[in-house]
Structure 1
Amino acid sequence: MRAVLCGYYGMGNGGDEALLATLLQLLPSEVTPLVLSGNPPWTQSHYGVEACDRKSIPQVIAALRQSDAFIWGGGSLMQDATSWLNPLYYGGLMTLAQRMGLKTVAWAQGIGPLQRSFTHWFTQQTFSHCTAVSVRDRGSAQKLSDWDIPFTLAPDPVWALEREPVPGLWELPAPRVAVVLRPHAKLTPARLEVLTQALIDFQLATQACVLLVPFHLTQDRPLAEAIQPRLPGVSKILMLSHPQQLRGLFQGVEMAIAMRLHGVIMAAAAECRCFALSYDPKVSQVMQELELPGWALDEIPEAKGAIAKTWLELYANGDALSSDRIRAIIDRALLHQSLLQEALLGADKRSAL
Structure 2
Amino acid sequence: MGQIRVILCGYYGLGNGGDEALLASLLQMLPTSVMPLVLSGNPKQTSDRYGVPAINRKSPRELIKALQQSQVIIWGGGSLIQDVTSAISPLYYAGLMKLAQIMGLKTIAWAQGIGPLKRSLTTWVAQQTFAGCTAVSVRDRGSAALLSEWGVPFTLAPDPVWAMGSKPVSGLWELPAPRVAVNLRSHPLLTPTRMANLTQALIDFQKATQTCILLVPFQEAQDLAIAQTIQPQLPGPSQIMRLEDPQQLKGLFRGVEMAIAMRFHGLIMAAAEECRCFALSYDPKVSQLMQDLELPGWELSSIPDNPHQISQTWIEQYANGSSLSADQIQFRVDQALIHQEVLHKALEGGGS
Normalising TM by the smaller chain, what interval?
over 0.9
- Which of 9, 16, 19 does residue 19 from structure 2 map onto? 16
Pair 1:175-2:168 in alignment: no
Can you list the C-alpha shifts for 1:33-71, whole angstroms capped at 9, x where unaligned? Answer: 100000001001111100000000010111111111000
Amino acid corresponding to residue 33 of structure 1 in structure 2: P
SS at match of 2:244: coil
> Hey, what does 2:146 align to over in structure 1?
143
Q: Summarize the alignment of residues 259-338 of structure 1 with structure 2, pairs less than 5 Å apart.
A: 259-338=262-341
Q: Summarize the alignment of residues 63-212 of structure 1 with structure 2, pairs less than 5 Å apart.
A: 63-212=66-215
After TM superposition, give the deviation of residue 346 of structure 1 in Å: 5.0
Can you list the C-alpha shifts for 1:56-87, whole angstroms capped at 9, x where unaligned? Answer: 00101111111110001100111111111012
Counterpart CA distance in 2 for 1:187 and 1:285 is 19
Counterpart CA distance in 2 for 1:272 and 1:123 is 36
Can you list the C-alpha shifts for 1:138-161, whole angstroms capped at 9, x where unaligned? Answer: 010011111111100000000001
- Report how many residues are paired: 347
After TM superposition, give the deviation of residue 219 of structure 1 in Å: 1.7
After TM superposition, give the deviation of residue 282 of structure 1 in Å: 0.3
Counterpart CA distance in 1 for 2:87 and 2:186 is 20
- Which of 244, 249, 262 does residue 246 from structure 1 map onto? 249
> Hey, what does 1:350 align to over in structure 2?
none
Amino acid corresponding to residue 260 of structure 2 in structure 1: I
After TM superposition, give the deviation of residue 114 of structure 1 in Å: 1.0
> Hey, what does 1:221 align to over in structure 2?
224
- Which of 3, 6, 11 does residue 6 from structure 2 map onto? 3
Amino acid corresponding to residue 139 of structure 1 in structure 2: G
TM-score normalised per structure 1: 0.97
Counterpart CA distance in 2 for 1:215 and 1:43 is 17
Instruction: Kindly report structure 1 stretches of 4+ aligned residues shifted beyond 4 Å.
Output: none
SS at match of 2:125: helix
SS at match of 1:105: strand
Cα RMSD (Å): 0.8
Pair 1:56-2:82 in alignment: no
Counterpart CA distance in 1 for 2:197 and 2:222 is 20
| Structure 1, unpaired ranges of 5+ | 348-353
SS at match of 1:198: helix
Can you list the C-alpha shifts for 1:213-252, whole angstroms capped at 9, x where unaligned? Answer: 0000122110000000000000000000000000100000
Counterpart CA distance in 2 for 1:241 and 1:273 is 23
Counterpart CA distance in 2 for 1:215 and 1:317 is 27
TM-score normalised per structure 2: 0.98
SS at match of 1:267: helix
SS at match of 2:169: coil
Amino acid corresponding to residue 169 of structure 1 in structure 2: L
> Hey, what does 1:351 align to over in structure 2?
none
After TM superposition, give the deviation of residue 128 of structure 1 in Å: 0.2
